[in-house]
Structure 1
Amino acid sequence: MTVPALELSGIELHYGFVRALDGIDFQVQPGEVVGLLGDNGAGKSTLLKVMSGAHRPSHGSIRVHGVEHTFHAPSDAADAGIQMVYQDLSLVEPQDIATNLNLGQETLRRGPLGWLGFVDRKEMRRTSEKELDRLGVRTAPMTRPVEMLSGGQRQVVALARSAIRVNGESQGILLLDEPTAALGYEQTKNVEGLIRRMADAGIAIVVVTHDLPLCYEVTDRIVILNRGRKVADLPTAGADRDHIVGWITGSRPSMFVQESHV
């Protein structure tokens, strides 16, 4: 049996007497896209932050490719091969595409200029174009500032940057928070295509979204949270939309036996 790229077992997160997450079991396989659904306050963004190292769970374990990890910060998750793409994208608007793709991993020039911290922009553009070609991404020229890009192009740059960083790291993991929010139809389709190509390259992807059409288009499996508990986990193919909505709203009973907590 394939070892999951990311596996969470019995995850709980308490804020005082409030259980934000209650005994969550979750996994995503290499090359799989899992949609994480739920209404506002269901716990999906909180769970995503546990996966990314932004929140430390009160109880439970996290395994990456079968190895247990304790994340004290997002840098710990990044070191384990997990990249998070937030809704704000974290792009540097005045800088060009190549610079944004290499943020924090800039290529220095050779020789004394490199010792002094001078960046090799020509080499960064060359390697950026190569990586985007490998992902099948077509955006604007590498020299174009991000502030001149459309919303869809910016989202593609943010996704591609994370894909480049996790690629080759024993099949990395991407966490996407509402990747098509505020995008038009054509831009959404471009992002959907990129998500599927990244999965085909072996990257495990978790997508938090309210967009059911996106979920049906790109995901292999759907996990639904309601009030901090997992209430459904099923293949996307053949999933009944009315059932999905029922689990999200709470009008449909959980697929799992719920244990009462004293």
Structure 2
Amino acid sequence: MTTTARPAPLIELTDVSKRYGNVRALEGVSLEVGAGEITCVLGDNGAGKSTLIKIIAGLHRHDGGVLRVDGEETRLSSPREALDLGVATVYQDLAVVPLMPVWRNFFLGSEPRKGVGPFKRMDIDLMRETTRGELLRMGIDLRDVDQPIGTLSGGERQCVAIARAVHFGAKVLVLDEPTAALGVKQSGVVLKYVAAARDRGLGVVLITHNPHHAYLVGDRFVLLRRGTMVGNHTRDAITLEELTAQMAGGSDLEALRHELARD
């Protein structure tokens, strides 16, 4: 009987560590994300999620352990290098220009041009049509790609950023707390397009502090606390209740309950 070997993960971290002087920001963290999978990284403030993002995005180099992209060991030295390898990061602030139209933000920094010599200019028609088409391919039907992106809801702006990363060739999408500042309905919209990116074959790293959002879409769950990994589970190995308890601190929360109980 022959078994089909699982393809190498798109991103794989093995015992990765990072220190800033004497401060340990990460210690011995491992995770992997394959094509068409969502790996959720959960933790409260100060858990090490931001440091992990910076390592995967190429902003900071790790001190220890191994980072592999497409099976090749690497030490990313810049966000540009990460992008060239197909790793795109969408941060919470999204880095958009609110007064510019949606299509201009979609191509910001990568504007196609037409003409030659001194007559070279931005191909506005192409950018409008491409933006509209790419958003529709992700299932995003905006009223008008000429409207300023600042007039969109927070969830819609997140979705535009996801579609942009897909269009520019991302193989791995790292999302930094995409639902943190959103209500229930807008969070659902964003999670829908996170799942759409997964269904198009991307590997997704979803950073969040919300176990309910993570469990809705996640295939794997990595839990961080004070820079260390306290859990690494596949979806079929943990329930939402167990995930929430581990995220909340488990025994620490139980001890606090006893401390706060009335006599």
Scaled by the length of structure 1, what TM-score is found?
0.88
Return the alpha-carbon distance in structure 2 between the equivalents of residues 13 and 184 of structure 1: 34
Partner of 1:230: 229
Alpha-carbon distance between aligned partners in 2 of 1:200 and 1:241, rounded to the nearest angstrom? 22
Is the counterpart of residue 140 in structure 1 residue 143 in structure 2? yes
Could you say if the C-alpha distance between residues 11 and 95 of structure 1 is closer, same or farther in structure 2, counting changes exceeding 3 Å?
same
Which residue does the alignment assign to 1:101? 106
Equivalences for 1:16-165 in 2 at 5 Å? 16-112=21-117, 115=120, 118-165=121-168
Q: Tell me if structure 1 keeps the 8 A contact 2:215–2:240.
A: no
* Residues 151-177 of structure 1, C-alpha deviations (whole Å, 9 max, x = no match): 22112112211222234xxxx101001
- Corresponding residue for 1:12? 17
Once residues 114 and 45 of structure 1 are traced to their aligned partners in structure 2, the CA distance between those partners, rounded to angstroms, is 44
- 1:153-212 deviation per Cα after TM superposition (whole angstroms, max 9, x unaligned): 112112211222234xxxx10100110122122221211111111001010001111122
Work out whether residues 219 and 234 of structure 2, in 8 Å CA contact, stay in contact via their aligned partners in 1: yes
Distance in structure 1 (CA, Å) of the matches to 2:98 and 2:195:
27
Moved more, 178-187 or 33-42: 178-187
Residues of 2 paired with 1:233 and 1:79: CA distance?
29
May I ask how many residue pairs the two structures share in their alignment? 247
Amino acid at match of 2:169: V
- Please tell me whether the aligned partners of residues 89 and 158 of structure 1 are also in contact (alpha carbons under 8 angstroms): yes
Distance 2:220 2:246 in 1: 15
Judged with a 3 Å threshold, the aligned counterparts in structure 2 of structure 1 residues 149 and 113 are, in CA distance, closer, same or farther, namely farther
Aligned pairs for 1:129-208 (under 5 A) are 129-167=132-170, 172-208=171-207
Structure 1 or 2, whichever has the larger Rg, is: 2
**CA separation in 1, counterparts of 2:221 and 2:178?**
16
Question: What SS does structure 1 have at the residue aligned with 2:180?
Answer: coil
How far apart, in 2, do the equivalents of 1:136 and 1:251 lie?
A: 39
Query: Could you tell me whether the CA contact under 8 Å between 2:87 and 2:174 is conserved in 1?
Result: yes
Q: Distance in 1 between matches of 2:211 and 2:242?
A: 12
- Secondary structure of 1:19's match? strand
2:257 aligned partner:
none
TM-score, scaled relative to structure 2: 0.88
Report how far residue 114 of structure 1 moved.
Answer: 5.3
Which amino acid in structure 1 is aligned with residue 93 of structure 2? D
| Partner Cα separation in structure 1 for residue 105 and residue 231 of structure 2 | 38
**Cα distance, 1:113 vs. partner?**
5.6
Runs of 4+ displaced beyond 3 Å: 111-115, 249-253
Counterpart of 2:114 in 1: which secondary structure? Answer: coil
Unaligned runs of 5+ in 1: 254-262
Please state how far the C-alpha of 1:57 moved relative to its aligned partner: 0.8
2:91 and 2:101 map into 1 onto residues whose CA distance is: 20
Give, in whole Å, the separation in 2 of the partners of 1:114 and 1:220.
50
Letter in 1 for 2:134: E
Structure 2 residue runs of 5 or longer lacking an equivalent are: 1-5, 253-263
CA distance, structure 2, for counterparts of residue 73 and residue 196 of structure 1: 28
Identity of aligned residues (%): 38
| CA distance, structure 2, for counterparts of residue 112 and residue 226 of structure 1 | 56
1:257 equivalent in structure 2: none
| Letter of the 1:184 counterpart | G
Q: RMSD over aligned Cα, in angstroms?
A: 1.8
25-34 or 102-111, which deviates more: 102-111
